[in-house]
Structure formats: structure tokens, C-alpha cells
Amino acid sequence: MEDRETPSPKNTAKGPGKSGSDERQSAPRETSIKTRPVQLLIAPRKVGDVAPMAADVLLNALAAYPDVRIVKHIRPSAFGALSTGIGTADDVVVAETSPERAAAIQNSAGNAIVVERNVRLRHLGMAIPGNPNGDIHETVIPTGIGLPGTAAKSVAVTFKVTDAGGQGIAACEVFCYSGGFPATALTGADGAATVNLPQSTIHSIDFVYVKPRADFWEKWIIRPVLDPDSFNVLTLQPLSSFAPAGFPGNPFFGWGEKTMNLDQQQLTGAGARIGIIDSGCDNTHPALTHVQSGVDYTNIDDAGNADTTTWVNDEISHGTHCAGVICGSGIGGIRGFAPAADVHALKLFPGGRFDSLVSAIKYAIDHQFDVVNCSLGTPESSEVVQSWMERARQAGVAVVVAAGNSSGPVQFPATAPGVLAVSAFGRQGAYPDDTYHAQTVPVGVSGTIGVNGIFAPKFTCHGPEIDVCGPGVAIISSVPGGGYAAWDGTSMAAPHITGLVALLAAHHPEFSKKNAPRNAARVDRLFQTIVGSATGVGLDPTYAGSGVPDTVTAVSGGITVNLNSVGINVDELTKLIQTVVMTTVNPVRQRNATLM
């Protein structure tokens, strides 16, 4: 294993009996820089009517390579019959080897074996300027700007982030942008943070962005005048200071929940079972103490078992934020969609890869979840992951996936068939003007400005895969430590839809029946009902799908109709409107809806 130790050249060591004058500087250890090994997902593939290769045969073949290490073997689900009709077998082997060996295995695999990279996933929350992946915690942001081979003179600029009373605010991320290159620092207990900037850019900074950890609105300042010889003070306002947000409330319903009419009903989701595949959940938060189950796929023992206790440690806050929207209890804070549901936190961030996602999906199948939330994605697709998404569907598990924050095409796994792909929308006036939330409003892009202040934010992915849109700008929800934060991202949009699916599973007359079949047809009908409840908000379908789902319409059991499937003319439609509640399904991604 590589030696990662990096002792300082200034370290000294005293030998026995040596005086201070005899101290000798120890030589720093030297280690050659090597290329990290590559992880592969390897699975048998069904070809025609021929049964997939047995897992033992595959493992024995890999064992013949001395430079291949088996990291994990994901064995068949308890629902073994679900493999019928799916292209890959249940078994998935995670192997680690050199890039050269990985290429050789891929080139020699043939059609009977799937070999693909075990790609690292990204969560899709906290979309920030200059970062198309919306990944503030897992992207290395340079602290200075310069070109290779240059030694640009730098200047230290100190910021002080305070509240209205002048008290310093700790743990705020301060970003300075110039020409698209960011520099950053984190405030200490006194609210101070020092950013090193190239001297040539001190008077040409495009903007400064401050992201607080909790309880305050962020700050966005265009073309700031910075003084390197004094504290540059940035004053943040508490979330409660902006009256239109209605925070804190008791209970608190966010603007997005109100847009979906969650506050117009009293259903709790009792009886539904939800999985949140994310970064864990801090269940010491007053609104989330009822979340009592989970596993941590970032903490695996020698036998390959995920820890069942450390999922409560949410280092990046993302999962806790999603959980508030999905199931917040409303006790002194956020009221989520399904506070009485049985919620499991399946932790795979930070560092989660495709194999962790497969393990989480398998857990959801084995525990017969109604719905799982996947606020995650990657530009790279996976046949193995896609096959497990289909297994979940066949087992009656609905998978809701965030579309992505790269402003481009929908990311995987939201592109997989059989999942519900969710883009984000925002509402003007739901946030202070001096925040980055206000900067997400698009300008000059056709189909992105809707009715009543609704817009498709700059960051949201779009395309024909989008089924519906969810609230995803300035979403106030729970974060670790008992606080609240306003975040942007399709990660924030997907939990609104996941929560609504849980309400359907628990209370809709079609889905709440005991002993009802758990199969693909059930998932398809759940999604058809969500899509059928949606109202168009003036956005192009590639940005919003069928629109914004409505809680009251969805759970009421009202009749939904797919106009394309029943083939009626205008006169017949006029008569039909007089007797049924009329809604339309996504014109881009049809799901053969029928009368309920």
C-alpha cells in the first residue's frame, strides 16, 4: 500500500543523549507517485435464451489474475425470480486492479459479461456558481489562481462574516470568483476567513459568494470592492428575516410544499416505507428524531457488511436536508410529506460509487420499500445499475431520481427506463434578492419562464426524460446540528416527489390496499398518478415534464386519463370534461395511463 505520510522537512529528531546543539534534521521520506488502481463492476449478462454465467465461474476466472483483488460480491436478492427478463444476472462482482489489467479484462470480456467502471457518484444539491456538478463538498477548489510555470504574486484578503449584531458566524464558505476561477476559505469561530488572491485580480473580482452552514441566508455580491488591509465585512440575515419564506413556522411548510398543496391536507404517510439513498441523516435534529433505521455503505467491515449505526453521521448535510422535505415531523420546524412513514437512511456519500448504489437498491428490494429517493447522478451510465433499477421496479419499489445540475442533458440514473426523473423549478420572490438563488433565474432561454413567477433554474438538467418538476430553489430544510439551510438543486426537487409517492402508497385507495401485488404494474400506476396530477406551469416539457404534481389531486383517487391512449375527438373531449377531472400525462415520456 502506498505510504501517504508526508512529514515536514523541518522536522528534527534527537537521538539518545543528544543535546539541542546536536539536533539533526531528519530526511523526508520519499515515495514514488503511482497511479491509483481502477475499480470495475463485473456481472454476467444474459444473451438470448442462454442462462447467464454462474457467479462461481466468473470469480474463478478473476482469481487467475494475481493483480486483481475482489472488493465485493453482491449476491442475488431474496427476490430471485425478479431476474426473469432482465439482461444481467443478480450477481455483481466489484474488482480492483491496474488500469492496464482493467483494459485487458474489458477487451476480452465478450457479450456474456458486463465490465464497466465503478464510477464515483455525485450528490445533486447545493448547486453553486462555477460548479456544474452542484457538488460543493467533493470538488477541490483552488485557493489561488495561476498558470503552470508561473509564480503569480498573491495578496491575502480577509473577510469577516457576521450577523446583524456584529457577531461572527463560523463555518461559512467564502468564494471569490475572477474569470471563472474560484478561490475559497472557511470562516473560523470569530467569523474571519482569509482568501489568497493573485495580486493582479484584487480589483477585478467578478463576485463574492458566502454560503453559511445553517440558519442564515447566503450572500451574493457582484463586482465587490475589496481592501487587503482591513476586514471585509459581510453581514448575513437570518432565515426568519425574509417574511415571504414563512420561516420558522410551527409547523413550517416551505414555498415548494405549499405550491404542491401539501399544507391543504392532513395525511401523514403512515404505513409507507421510504429509503433515502444519500449521505445519512442526523436523527438528533428535532424534526427527524423518528428516523431510526439505516445502513452506512461508506463504512464496511472485513466481512463486507455495512455498518448499521454510523448512518446518523451526515458529514455533508445533504441527506439530512432531503429527509426534512420527505419526512420532517413538523415539531418546531419543517413538516415533510410523510412524517409517519417508516424511513431508512441508506448512506453512500461521501465517496459512494455505483456498487454502493446497487447495494442500496438491493436493500430497498429486500425490505419491500414503497419508494426510494436518489438525489444523485453522474454523466456516465451503467448497465449494471440500470438492471438493478429495473429489478426494483419489478419488486414494486418506485425509484425517484434527480435529473442533475449541469444545465445540460439529464444525467444517469435519471435517464434509466422505469424511474421517475425530476427536474427543478423555482419561484421568483421566494428568496432575498442579494442571494445566489436570485441568480438562478434564466435570461433569454426559450421555455424557461412560466406563469406566476415560476422558472426553470439555470442549473437544472433538461431533456425528453423529464417526467415532472419539483421545487428546487431556496428550499429551506433541516441540516445536522438542529439548524436549517436554504439550498438549490434537483436534489431538493426530487424529495418533494418522493414524499408525494409515499403519500400515495399509504393513502390512495388503489395503492394502500393490504396484500396488493408488489410488481412493476404498481410502480407504473404510482408514476402515472403522479404525472396525471401535475399542472402545467408554462415551462417547456423538456424542462418541466408534465409540470408540478398536486398533492390533493394525487391522493384523492380522482380519475386520470391519457388522451393519446383513448383516441377521442374534440367533441367527445368536451363532454368528458363535464364528468371527470381532466389531467394530461407527460407528452414526451408516455406511461399508458388508464381510468382508475
Catalytic site residue from 318, 344, 437, 508: 318
Task: Please give the Cα distance from 226 to 223 (Å, whole number).
Answer: 9
Is the CB of residue 416 less than 8 Å from the CB of residue 467?
A: no
Peptide bond into 480 cis (omega under 30): no
Q: 220 in helix, strand or coil?
A: strand
Is the CB of residue 472 less than 8 Å from the CB of residue 405?
A: no
Catalytic site residue from 478, 491, 533, 546: 491
Helix (H) or strand (E) holding 104: helix 99-108
Catalytic site residue from 91, 135, 215, 278: 278
φ/ψ bin of 399: left (φ > 0), alpha (ψ from -120 to 50), beta (otherwise):
beta
Task: Please give the Cα distance from 162 to 160 (Å, whole number).
Answer: 6
Helix (H) or strand (E) holding 150: none
Is the CB of residue 58 less than 8 Å from the CB of residue 72?
A: no
Work out the angle at residue 357's Cα, subtended by the Cα atoms of residues 352 and 362, and round it to the nearest 5 degrees: 145
Is the CB of residue 445 less than 8 Å from the CB of residue 523?
A: no
> Closest Cα partner for 297 from 316, 315, 280, 283?
280
Q: Which residues of 23-59 are buried (b: 16+ CB within 10 A; e: fewer)?
A: eeeeeeeeeeeeeebbbbbbbbbbeeeeebbebeebe
Task: Please give the Cα distance from 93 to 184 (Å, whole number).
Answer: 40
Task: Please give the Cα distance from 370 to 355 (Å, whole number).
Answer: 22
Catalytic site includes residue 491: yes
Nine cell digits for residue 532: 396525471
Q: Which residues are catalytically annotated?
A: 278, 318, 491
